[in-house]
Amino acid sequence: MQLQRLLSFTRKAVDEYDMIQEGDHIAVGISGGKDSLTLLYALHGLKRFYPKHFELSAITVNLGFENFDLSPIQALCKELEVPYRIVDSEIYHILFDVRKETNPCSLCAKMRKGALNDAIKEMGCNKVAYAHHKDDIIETMLLSLIFEGRFHSFSPKTYLDRMDLTVIRPIMFIDEADVIGFKNKYNLPVVGSKCPVDGYTKRQYAKELVRQLNTEHPGARERMFRAILNGNIQGWPDRVPHIR
């Protein structure tokens, strides 16, 4: 995927869900993976020409894995002139050494978001951008249907009133396959996950299920995404098509 295509789909999401306002200070949550680094490139590129001016910072919560080298990301942020903060934590130690969790994903996400949001507020940011792409949104909908019995997925924009912080998802219209293509084309400095349960989660099950459904019923994936956009999901903002 070319940078121009990335920026086009990012602006589509930002415009249609009114994600960015004049004077915003947006923190990009960086995990080290392909998705968050693509998001960083997307917002850095958008910042150059978007009519509403905004500041951009990047942040990583270091969970405490051994040999988790973030220096390539530090170098990238320096090259892009984006301030970068690393928040050290003992989340890995708590989950695996103290509690000895066998299914740690939910608690890990909660602890990571808590540490992330506290640091973001300290940085003076009023918004945080998460790197959930189209496939993430479809997979979350399936997980919700199968395990919760409701039709739901990530919202493009969510206001966290207790934190006075808004979550946005600017790459929601971008396929994971395009993210992979962008990573390869621009040689993004991906820092691989050190999590011992990575790849063995319910989300991986949903990913494989979507792939199977789309193989057996071509176009099913896009139809599921369209159903989400048109589904009047509780908590989702109104979608406003923009003509530029």
Q: What would the mean pLDDT of 88-99 be, rounded to a whole number?
A: 78
- Burial (CB < 10 A; 0-12, 13-18, 19+), residue 149, is exposed
**240/238 Cα distance (integer angstroms):** 6
pTM to 2 decimal places:
0.92
When pLDDT is averaged across residues 168-183 and rounded to a whole number, the result is 97
The rounded Cα 187 to chain-centroid distance in angstroms is: 19
In the chain, which ranges are E strands?
Answer: 24-29, 54-62, 84-88, 127-129, 157-160, 165-168
What confidence category does residue 184 fall into, taking pLDDT thresholds of 50, 70 and 90?
Answer: very high
C-alpha span between 192 and 83 (Å, rounded)? 22
In the structure, what pLDDT confidence band is assigned to residue 198 with cuts at 50, 70 and 90? Answer: low
Please choose, from the candidates 154, 137, 146, the residue with its C-alpha nearest in 3D space to the C-alpha of residue 221.
137
Residue 41, pLDDT above cutoff 70: yes
DSSP 239: P
Burial of 81 (0-12, 13-18, 19+ CB in 10 A): exposed
Of residues 110, 66, 112, 61, the one with CA closest to residue 86: 61
44 Cβ neighbours under 8 A, 6+ residues apart: 56, 80, 82
What percentage of residues in the chain have a pLDDT greater than 70? 94
What average pLDDT does this structure show over 202-228? 95
pLDDT value at position 197? 67
Q: Residue 114 and residue 61: Cα distance in Å, rounded?
A: 10
pLDDT of 244 higher than 60: no
Please say if the pLDDT value at position 68 is more than 70.
Answer: yes
Q: Which of 3-12, 70-79, 92-101, 153-162 bottoms out in mean pLDDT, i.e. has the lowest?
A: 92-101
- Mean pLDDT over residues 42-54, rounded? 96
- Buried b / exposed e across 98-122, counting CB within 10 Å, b at 16+? eeeeeebbeebeebbbebbbebbee
Averaged pLDDT for residues 223-237:
95
Give me the helix-helix angle, 176-186 and 34-47, nearest 10°.
Answer: 80
Q: Is residue 243 over pLDDT 60?
A: no
Extract the tokens encoding 222.
Answer: 């896009």
